[in-house]
Amino acid sequence: MTVAAADLLPIELIRKHLRLDYEDEDDLIVLYAESALAWALWFCDNPKLLEVEDFPASFKAALLLLIGHSYANREAVVVGTITAEVPLAVESLLWSSRNWSGPPDPVVTP
């Protein structure tokens, strides 16, 4: 099964996180949500994340932070600002979903 971002986070919840009360940018938000999910799955590299029920709340919270970042920073370059990574944010939330066992064992066929 392929899990979509909308399966994990309803658009209404994402809009609430972004503090939006209109639907004009839903297509953009969905794009950011799918991108956030793809990155988080890559980061975790966990083959056990297959069904909606497999995703903990911390994973979903990390997605909201990634979506918020993409929504707030729509350009590749920011000029004239000082930035810092928020401690205990995305990577910390995804830490418990990471695959710590390494790559799966190769399938041996007799």
Domains identified in the chain, total number: 1
CATH code at position 57: 1.10.3230.30
The structure's pTM equals: 0.83
Domain presence at residue 103: no
Residue corresponding to tokens 């041996």: 108
102-106 contacts, C-beta under 8 A, 24 or more apart: 104/47
CA atoms of 4 and 30, how far apart (whole Å): 10
Range of the domain at 78: 5-97
Domain presence at residue 110: no
Tokens of 99: 């695959």
What pLDDT, in 10s, does the model give residues 35-64? 999 999 999 999 999 999 999 999 999 999
From the number of C-beta atoms within 10 Å of its C-beta (0-12, 13-18, 19+), residue 84 rates as: exposed
Domain presence at residue 48: yes
What pLDDT, in 10s, does the model give residues 87-102? 668 888 998 899 887 7
